[in-house]
Structure 1
Amino acid sequence: MRYDRTVHLDTDFATAVSRTREALAAQGFGVLTEIDVTATLKAKLDHDMEDYVILGACNPSLAHRALETHRSVGLLLPCNVVVRRSGDRTVVQVLDPNTMVALTEIDALRPVAEEATRRLDAALASLTRPRTDH
């Protein structure tokens, strides 16, 4: 089972992170957490790795609907979005919301997962379109 939705961008890391935040916001997602994996591994293990950030994205309405369906689904929230360097490109990956249904086997979560998928796919698609505001 594939559990990610991914786009590859020909842009620098900082720009990709900023544009990803904007794209998520345009689809009703706020970023609740940000984990700088690169800095954490350097500080804790003295390990060097490529730029890598995990954004914890949440759409309050969708989260509420999912939690009303089953409280334990909070274990799968917020939706993790990874922005990382891969060679000379930046990769943006989103956990496929349908994973929530597959892991829990709770069919009542399917409409929430489908809407989250539509919104996250729209956010990812917007990242691949040329910008007209510069």
Structure 2
Amino acid sequence: MDTTIADFARFMEAVIQGRGVTKQAKETMLKPYIQIVSKTQFPTPSLETTDENRAIRLSYGLGWGLFHTPYGKAYFKEGHDDGWENHVVAFPNKKIALVLMANSSNGDSIFKELLETLIGDKFTPWRWEGYLPYK
């Protein structure tokens, strides 16, 4: 997906507020279809399974990763290619979302700390995503 951080933030705001997408479309998009039991997201397909994410009900809807937190449901989307990485997470009950984009193949190494510091996100399944903090 080619976009800007401003456009992606506007899109996330619209999704959270229910603008530009019908309630039915949003419910369909954010409905869990596939329970995630793999130990890691990559390499694809990871054949090692785990119950590690059962408590947060890690799953995938239509294009969105889904999980549960003490604040309610959350959804995320991430992407990467050579030279860039991005991550967005939304907590709709709190009306909070954060879009992170990096023009580096190592951007994921700071995403966990940024989300914890900026919005108190201690729930995103970092180990499954393979996002390891930079040391």
TM-score, structure 1 length as denominator?
0.31
User: Between Structure 1 and Structure 2, whose CA radius of gyration is higher?
Assistant: 1
Q: As a proportion of its length, which structure holds more helix? A: 1
The structure, 1 or 2, with the larger RCO (C-alpha pairs under 8 Å, 6+ apart) is: 1
TM-score, structure 2 length as denominator?
0.31
